[in-house]
Amino acid sequence: MVKLVLANSWPRAADALVVGLVEGADGPELVGLPPAWAKREARRELSQAVELVQAEATVGQVKIVPVGSTRVVLAGLGPQRPTSERLRQAAGAALRALGALRRQPAKHVVLSLGWDRPEDLKAIAEGALLGLYRYAGQPGAQAPAPSGPSVQKITLLVEASPLHQRSVELAQAVAEAVCATRDLVNQPPNQLYPAVLAEIAQKVATQRGLGCQVWEPAALAEQGYGGLLAVGGGSQRGPRLVQLTWRPRGAKSHVALIGKGITFDSGGVNLKPRESMSTMRCDMAGAAACLSTIAAAARLDLKVKLTAWLPLAENLPSGSAYRPSDVIQLYGGATVENYNTDAEGRLVLADALRRAAEDKPDLMVDIATLTGACMVALGLSTIGLMASDDVVADQLMDAAEAAGEPMWHLPITEEAERALRSTVADLRSGGPREGGALVAAAFLRRFTESIPWAHLDIAGPAFNEGEPQGHTPVGGTGAGVRSLIALLTSLAG
């Protein structure tokens, strides 16, 4: 990864500078100009450049201008006193723009956006590292042209204190986790299937000193994991259940993370129509988020006991696939009338939630690209949150706020609960389309054994089909990871 350092004076070798533009009364105003640049000529030259290139103070807008041999990035920050997330977005947009330079690539970038509280610095550092992200493809494969970003070093101009240093370490761990999640989501589904993802989890566990156990299909059958076996039954590439554990000394609470890991969701026998299948390699984004989060917790030595559960399967139609109206017995014995084979996520999550609950954790959080309905309700960038109670919901909302991720609390209504009634099994896996995100949550709640629980629906934000924006690239985004790490950081105290 790129080297990130703190320094209080201009580093000789720097060849690029990022400064901020805030909305002033008379147009965009420069902020964060380093002392060496605040001298009158340099300042005048830059102010003229702002006007000439029509730089804007809107968040995410960037313009690059040459001043001598230095590339200066004018990064919009919005109105005065930007939020941490605006700083993160601006740093992301700036570094993405610099990373894309071909003829005169920038190697050593100085970031000076004008705000340097520890939390601002953390956001800026995170945004910069996230903005530089590029999916490199398989190791050994032909690198996507033009080849990866040239930026090797970033200096944050600030009076370095231990608090600032800790902010940078946190930012590096968070960015590594988000980028690792993006890499997993971006891998093609013929190369990343359940057994491969399980192997990757094992490798990560070894690197980070985590416990790791993997259930193969025979063991799943023996122990009654009927959801995973039904959903994974249509694929030649069988399902897996992965358990990862982080057991630090001095932990006060135990959190279980459960991530949906459908390595490809064709819909199964209820095949998805045309375009809606094209992004379905993202359907393991929840599992990837849990894997990266527990790895980050270990890297940061967070004092909270963690268990991550990754139910992994590929949802395909075939002669051995499960059907709509099948009755399936899930882990723990409950029977489910299968409503639609495209509602596969809740079945594998039910197995994993029910198993996770056996260990009686203090809190369970699942994260899943679960419903198109959640995208209809909240759009493409907001995470849907449903929870066992408002106390848990507030904990997650606070974490999302601290992390700068948009999240919104949705209810689990009586109406949603009613949609689960079945005459042939204990419950049905779905019903009418209306309120589909809530119905899915009501279903999951049945398997939480009344343990405090939150459910994050990331169907919208996990994958960006549009343009890159701020620190968000095209493809896998790593949605939810920042919020989960923020939650665990606050629980670790």
Distance CA 22, CA 20 (A): 6
Radius of gyration from C-alpha coordinates of the chain: 24
Residue 484 carries which side chain, given as an amino acid letter? L
Distance CA 453, CA 446 (A): 11
Closer CB to ligand BES, 372 or 468, in the complex: 372
Query: Total binding residues for ligand BES by CB under 6 A?
Result: 16
**Helices 481-492 + 162-186 axis angle, to 10:** 140
- Run of H or E residues at 5: strand 3-7
What is the number of helices (H) and of strands (E) in the chain?
14, 21
- In the list Zn ion, ligand BES, none, the entry touching 253 (Cβ below 5 to 8 angstroms by class) is none
The distance of closest approach from Cβ of residue 323 to ligand BES in the complex, given in angstroms and rounded to an integer, is 14
- In the list Zn ion, ligand BES, none, the entry touching 459 (Cβ below 5 to 8 angstroms by class) is ligand BES
Terminal C-alpha separation, the chain: 28
> Which residue in the set 11, 317, 372, 406 belongs to the binding site for ligand BES (CB under 6 A)?
372
> Which residue in the set 85, 126, 183, 265 belongs to the binding site for Zn ion (CB under 5 A)?
265
Tell me which stretch binds ligand BES (CB under 6 A): 70-78, 139-147, 219-227, 341-349. Answer: 341-349
Distance CA 232, CA 239 (A): 5
**Residue 25: partners with Cβ closer than 8 Å, 6 or more residues away:** none
Tokens of 163: 């608090």
Closer CB to Zn ion, 47 or 340, in the complex: 340
Q: Is the dihedral of CA 47, 52, 55, 56 positive or negative?
A: positive
User: Would strands 383-387 and 305-315 be described as parallel, antiparallel, or unpaired?
Assistant: unpaired
Tokens of 333: 């014995």
Closer CB to ligand BES, 265 or 405, in the complex: 265
Nearest Cα neighbor of 409 from 371, 437, 432 is 437
Task: Verify binding: residue 436, ligand BES, rule CB under 6 A.
Answer: yes
Tell me which stretch binds ligand BES (CB under 6 A): 137-145, 295-303, 338-346, 472-480. Answer: 338-346
- The single residue listed with the structure tokens 């701020």 is 470
Distance CA 37, CA 131 (A): 25
> Which residue in the set 89, 167, 235, 371 belongs to the binding site for ligand BES (CB under 6 A)?
371
Count Cβ atoms within 10 A of the Cβ of residue 102 and give its class: 0-12 exposed, 13-18 middle, 19 or more buried: exposed
The distance of closest approach from Cβ of residue 367 to ligand BES in the complex, given in angstroms and rounded to an integer, is 12
- In the list Zn ion, ligand BES, none, the entry touching 149 (Cβ below 5 to 8 angstroms by class) is none
Going residue by residue from 258 to 287, which x/- string records binding to ligand BES, judged by CB under 6 A?
A: -------x-----------------x----
The distance of closest approach from Cβ of residue 228 to ligand BES in the complex, given in angstroms and rounded to an integer, is 14
Count Cβ atoms within 10 A of the Cβ of residue 245 and give its class: 0-12 exposed, 13-18 middle, 19 or more buried: middle
The distance of closest approach from Cβ of residue 370 to ligand BES in the complex, given in angstroms and rounded to an integer, is 6
Task: Verify binding: residue 457, ligand BES, rule CB under 6 A.
Answer: no
The distance of closest approach from Cβ of residue 435 to Zn ion in the complex, given in angstroms and rounded to an integer, is 17
SS3 category, 431: coil
> Which residue in the set 72, 177, 297, 373 belongs to the binding site for ligand BES (CB under 6 A)?
373
Closer CB to ligand BES, 128 or 375, in the complex: 375
Going residue by residue from 342 to 381, which x/- string records binding to Zn ion, judged by CB under 5 A?
A: x-xx------------------------------------
Tell me which stretch binds ligand BES (CB under 6 A): 192-200, 234-242, 337-345, 408-416. Answer: 337-345
- Run of H or E residues at 449: none
Closer CB to Zn ion, 283 or 314, in the complex: 283
Nearest Cα neighbor of 130 from 469, 450, 486, 378 is 469
Task: Verify binding: residue 457, Zn ion, rule CB under 5 A.
Answer: no
> Which residue in the set 345, 473, 475, 478 belongs to the binding site for ligand BES (CB under 6 A)?
345
Name the residues that contact Zn ion, by CB under 5 A. Answer: 262, 265, 283, 342, 344-345
Name the residues that contact ligand BES, by CB under 6 A. Answer: 265, 283, 340, 342-345, 369-373, 375, 430, 436, 459
